[in-house]
Amino acid sequence: MRVQVAIVGGGPAGHLLGQLLFKAGIDAVIIERQSRDYVLGRIRAGVLEQVCIDLMDEAGVGQRMHAEGLVHGGFDMLFKGERHRIDMNHLTGGKNVMVYGQTEVTRDLMDARQAAGLTTIYEASNVTVHDFDTARPRVRYEKDGPNGKEVHEIECDFIAGCDGFHGVCRASAPRSAIREYEKIYPFGWLGILSDTPPVHEELIYANSPRGFALCSQRSATRSRYYLQVPLTDKVEDWSDEAFWQELRLRLDPEARAKLVTGPSIEKSIAPLRSFVTEPMRFGRMFLAGDAAHIVPPTGAKGLNLAATDVKYLSNALIEFYQDKSEAGIDNYSERCLRRIWRAERFSWWFTGLMHRFPENGEIGQKFQEAELDYLIHSEAGARSVAENYVGLPLDFGE
């Protein structure tokens, strides 16, 4: 097979890129290690910045998102047992976010791809990338055929590494050309999904001496809640009842009284990590999304960052094919990384502000509460939080 762009990884980043390239008349194939159902079974964050909403529209897949997504103009910060609202809409001159699950984003993109008759190779095993330092890169994979496992090869002009944190693309970049920055946090998030009405119409981020908690949602009848837990905890150790009990203890009296509990339909523990790869381009191979960077989930920047990488990459590839210009390609890494580092900084800061760090002792909790008190009572402080939460513009300070 010969295509212009071979996209490795069919998560949200790979699928969004596929759709933006398709709209521009650029021929691309997606090679995904898992099945469609497996990819759609992963539960991830669900807060879209305006930039991401606009990209879904640009890709022609915004219809269901606008019908079902919940527009939020603010969120609550809970500390010292009291809730305070950050009025994002007011503080940012009218900007909002949209609560719409990442699974739904991926599903909409997959459906559009299928409807357009575009090729996605699911359940491709042993994917390898080759010759991306030449003008003729290749991607190889194995897939079950009538005669057992068959090896396939795709020739392309460019490889887009959208294969997530554990993917093959970043791992194939020459070690001497790559620099990685990483911070691992000493706790995880235990998440629960349940078919119960959300405790509040907006999100609640809670700083409590017992640890962080987050009340989020997927719809008027489906809730998503998280608790900070030690990394040594196992999901089997947490019964639904124990989860609800602990959540109640981290909430304010009003939310505690309003909380509707029910059986979990998903329960998992995710570790927290800050991670950035520099650069994001190796000859004719580009990294985008989780393949290049991870943020801790506080603030829900992961999907939004993946979406903006993809926007820069599709622009660069369109410029290459339509204008015969390599300027976008040459700029790709630097352009992405500037935005990525700002979101990394915010996610790290917000994580530090809201979680319990036992090694910082009781004074650590006091410092956090004082900072929160300052932030919500200072217009400048609150605006800084709001501005970062709604997301930085695609082009800033250029």
Pick what 46 binds: ligand APR, ligand PHB, none; C-beta below 5 to 8 Å, kind-dependent.
ligand PHB
| Nearest distance, CB of residue 99 and ligand PHB, angstroms | 7
The total number of residues shown for the chain amounts to 398
Contact 79, 206 (CB under 8 A): yes
15 is a catalytic site residue = no
| Nearest distance, CB of residue 219 and ligand APR, angstroms | 19
Task: Give the up-direction half-sphere exposure of residue 230: CA atoms within 13 A in the CB hemisphere.
Answer: 6
Query: Is the CB of 122 or the CB of 357 nearer to ligand APR?
Result: 122
Q: Which residues bind ligand APR (CB under 6 A)?
A: 8-14, 31-34, 39, 44-45, 102, 124, 127, 162-164, 166-168, 289-291, 302-303, 306
Query: Is the CB of 31 or the CB of 203 nearer to ligand PHB?
Result: 203
Pick what 161 binds: ligand APR, ligand PHB, none; C-beta below 5 to 8 Å, kind-dependent.
none
Q: Which residues bind ligand PHB (CB under 6 A)?
A: 45-47, 203, 214, 216, 224, 297-300
The interaxial angle of helices 302-323 and 12-23, nearest 10 deg, is 30
Pick what 56 binds: ligand APR, ligand PHB, none; C-beta below 5 to 8 Å, kind-dependent.
none
Write out the DSSP string of 258-299: H-----EEEEEEEEEEEEEEE-SEETTEEE-GGGTEE--STT
389 is a catalytic site residue = yes
Contact 179, 277 (CB under 8 A): yes
Phi and psi at 195, nearest 5°, equal -85, 70
Pick what 127 binds: ligand PHB, ligand APR, none; C-beta below 5 to 8 Å, kind-dependent.
ligand APR
Pick what 299 binds: ligand PHB, ligand APR, none; C-beta below 5 to 8 Å, kind-dependent.
ligand PHB
Which of 282, 17, 4 minimizes the C-alpha distance to 131?
A: 282
Query: Is the CB of 251 or the CB of 305 nearer to ligand APR?
Result: 305
Catalytic residue among 297, 311, 312, 332: 297
| Nearest distance, CB of residue 268 and ligand PHB, angstroms | 11
| Nearest distance, CB of residue 112 and ligand PHB, angstroms | 23
72 is a catalytic site residue = yes
Catalytic residue among 15, 72, 293, 355: 72
| Nearest distance, CB of residue 218 and ligand APR, angstroms | 15
Catalytic residue among 100, 185, 225, 389: 389
The interaxial angle of helices 379-390 and 327-354, nearest 10 deg, is 130
CB atoms within 10 A of CB 359: 6
Query: Is the CB of 249 or the CB of 394 nearer to ligand APR?
Result: 394
Question: Which residue type is seen at 209?
Answer: P
Query: Reduced to 3 DSSP states, what percent helix, strand and coil does the chain have, rounded to the nearest 5?
Result: 40, 30, 30
Question: Which residue type is seen at 17?
Answer: L
| Nearest distance, CB of residue 113 and ligand APR, angstroms | 14
DSSP state of 33: S
- DSSP, collapsed to helix, strand or coil, labels residue 374 as helix
Cα 88 from Cα 77, distance rounded (Å):
12
84 is a catalytic site residue = no
Pick what 298 binds: ligand APR, ligand PHB, none; C-beta below 5 to 8 Å, kind-dependent.
ligand PHB
Query: Is the CB of 109 or the CB of 199 nearer to ligand APR?
Result: 109
CB atoms within 10 A of CB 102: 20
Query: Is the CB of 224 or the CB of 383 nearer to ligand PHB?
Result: 224
Give the chain's largest Cα–Cα span: 68
| Catalytic residue numbers, as ranges | 72, 205, 297, 301, 389
